[in-house]
Amino acid sequence: MSDTWVILGASSAVARAFAREAASHGAALVLAGRDMEDLEHQAADLAIRYGVPAMPLRFEARDLATHAGFVAECRRRAGDGLLNVFLAFGVMPDQAAADADPEVAAGMVEANFTGAASVLGALAPVLEAQRGGTVVALGSVAGDRGRKRNFLYGATKAALLVYLQGYAARLSGAGVRVLCIKAGPVDTGMTWALPKLPFMASPRGFAAAAWQRAGKGGGSAYLPGIWWPVMTIIRLLPTPIFNKLNI
């Protein structure tokens, strides 16, 4: 029985590319998300291109009550194989919209953090029981330091990172690897309409790098790698200077 990757937020361009990457290595896929029509199309694509089973499954990150049942269904679909997780869902409304409307702000926290913590929490016993497997989650360079432009989004990603640190510690005894990717800009629907961003990665290149990095073990990693020096400098900038920057 081959490994299964559960892709949470499978309609995301990054997630789609990662699913193809995993399928090209022979993994079965559970495509979890909300746009069922799209997930059906993706499942067909993966099955035809790579000859792997791919199954759409409804998943709503903000509907916490459904997470236990969702995880049970994932376990069932993975059969006897190892279950792995790629967590990609998330939203990034702009800071001004979140400032203006508490519903928007709360919705982002719920989707990016509360929902993530909830579904990962439900997955933990399953991962422990199988004694192995890999969890990869998409954090962001925005979580390294709160910037004027998007600090609420950044805060949700920082919270996710801290959650994953503890999660990794809890699961390390069971041999589960947990990797938090601090992603730089990726050329997806989330960034398409934004002003030009530096070091933009293609979803395909990003996914290939993420797959490779996941093979090397857990922890956290900047992708693309150029973000390590860049964020190191940004984190070290003295506050008075940082506050003057329009980033």
Partner 1 sequence: MPDTLAAPAATRPTGWKQVSLQGWGRSSLSPCLAARPERLRELHAALDAPEGRTLIAHGGGRSYGDAALNTDGAVVVTGRLDRILGFDPATGELVAEPGVTFADLLEVFLPRGFIAPVSPGTSHVTLGGALANDVHGKNHHHAGSFGEHVLWFDLLLPDGRMQRVSPESDPALFQATVGGIGLTGIVAALCLRLTRVPSNALAVSRRRVRNLDGFLAAFEAAAGATWSVGWIDALAGGASLGRGVLETAEPSEARVESRPPRARRFPVDAPGWLLNGLSVRAFNELYWRRVPAAGQQATVPYRQFLYPLDAIDGWNRMYGKQGFRQFQCVVPPGPGEAALRRLLETVAAGGNASFLAVLKVMGRDGPGMLSFGMPGYSLALDIPARPGSEAIFTQLERITRDSGGRIYLAKDSLLSAEGFAAMYPRAGEFRAVRERVDPQRRLSSDMARRIGL
Contact code string over 200-239 relative to ligand NAP, x by CB under 6 A: ----------------------------------------
Residue 48: name its binding partner from ligand NAP, partner 1, none (Cβ under 5 to 8 Å by kind): partner 1
Which residue, 118 or 134, has its beta carbon nearer to partner 1?
A: 118
Output the CA angle 113-115-116, nearest 5 degrees: 65
Pairing of strands 83-87, 4-8: parallel
Amino acid identity of residue 134, one-letter, is T
- Cβ-closest position to ligand NAP: 90
Interface with partner 1, residue 94, by CB under 8 A: no
Interface with ligand NAP, residue 92, by CB under 6 A: yes
C-alpha dist (Å) from residue 118 to 55, 163, 175, 218: 22, 11, 21, 20
CA neighbor of 119 nearest in space, from 148, 95, 166, 85: 85
CA neighbor of 220 nearest in space, from 173, 164, 171: 164
Tokens of 208: 């290939």
User: Which residues contact partner 1 (rule: CB under 8 A)?
Assistant: 11, 13, 16, 34-35, 37-38, 41-42, 44-45, 48-49, 60, 62-63, 91, 103, 107, 188-189, 192-193
User: Which residues contact ligand NAP (rule: CB under 6 A)?
Assistant: 9, 11-14, 33-35, 59-62, 88-92, 111, 115, 138, 140, 183, 185-186, 188-191
